[in-house]
Amino acid sequence: MPPHNPTVRLNSLASGSAPYRYRQEEMVPLGYEFFSNSFANFDRMARVYANAGIDSRQVSMPLDWYRRPRTFSERNDVYIGSSVAILEKVATRCLDQAGLEPGEVGGLVVVSSTGLATPTLDALLMERLRLPPDVRRLPIFGLGCAGGVLGLARAAAMCRAEPELNVLFLTVELCSLTFQKDDASKGNVVAAALFGDGAAGAVLSTSGRGPVVGDWGEYTWPRSLDVMGWDFGEAGEFGVLFSRSIPDIVRRRLRGAVEGFLESRDLSLDDIDLYAAHPGGARVLDSLEQAIGLPPDALIHSREVLRRHGNMSAPTALFVLERALREGATGRILLTSLGPGFTAAMMLIEA
């Protein structure tokens, strides 16, 4: 019998950006092309680009590609090809950092919600990465922005269940492929100003060196299904559901969820040395600071990732954690994100 809750470590952590980088001001004309005919006051709405706390974003295709109407098939073909390419690079970096050969990987968890693939991305990656044919695969769809934390938790759970496994966790989101020119909802306008593309990954095991993955948890608020998600169109469009109430929910309700998670582990907010929060947007980070009572510079890593990359959905939380660890963060880190459900995801990391 394996020991109760063996210690799981992050043996490596890596990120990868999409190939086309644009400054935020270069994205504004695209917003006008998409939405100005649908809103009499789009000049006022366009301020979201300047107020987003974003300097640049990376996307999977040149900007001109997004200007033409695209079928679901065209978008999804790009999703599959680009996702596999960027994940292969991230996975290779993860294995190199961990000092592992591909044949030593026993588990593979892949999270993504911005496209569809069957066989799933994990299967498409196996031969490219030369992984063993008996690797345990777990593809996960639908977690949205919470997928980085919850996917990492599922990978850690796999390690705890089978302590001999080296588990490779990967997540990719190509949010730009879901931008909808004909969706005149305010949520879509905000999403087009915030989201970018990226990927991240980690190797987890019960051996070796690296930060310790502590406990994890999640809290799904009742009657909140309409806060965030996809509204799928008749032609396969990924129409974004992005409620204006998200900052208010964070401000009024997040603290209780976080305190409940910590109290069940005999901890309190005072026991947290660093908050590594998924940067859903500048207003969401402001609301999180207010909810938890954090000083203005407490979320510096989250804000810096937002500034450089925008909101990349699931991978973004791992970008934040990677940056914090690279900058020398130590102690107890609380990694958080929010996603469809509406769900708060939380994980403790001991660095």
DSSP letters, 133-190, are TT-EEEEE-S-GGGHHHHHHHHHHHHHHHSTT--EEEEEEEEGGGG--TT---HHHHH
User: What residues have CB less than 8 Å from 119, skipping those under 6 apart?
Assistant: none
Dist. CA 95–CA 85, nearest whole Å: 16
User: Are the beta carbons of 195 and 313 closer than 8 angstroms?
Assistant: yes
Q: Give the residue numbers marked as catalytic.
A: 145
Q: Report how far residue 117's alpha carbon sits from residue 21's, in angstroms, rounded to the nearest whole number.
A: 26
Question: Could you give the CA distance from residue 243 to residue 189 in angstroms, rounded to a whole number?
Answer: 12
Q: Are 321 and 13 in contact (CB under 8 A)?
A: yes
- Quick one: angle between helices 282-292 and 300-309, nearest 10? 170
Structure tokens at 226: 């309409």
Q: Which residues contact 44 (CB under 8 A, 6 or more apart)?
A: none
Residue 110 to residue 112: CA distance in whole angstroms: 7
Residue pair 194/281 in contact by the 8 Å Cβ criterion: yes
C-alpha dist (Å) from residue 93 to 79, 137, 187, 324: 21, 20, 35, 18
Structure tokens that stand for 211 in this block: 């930060």
Strand partners, 137: 108
Dist. CA 303–CA 102, nearest whole Å: 34
Place of tokens 């020119």: 181
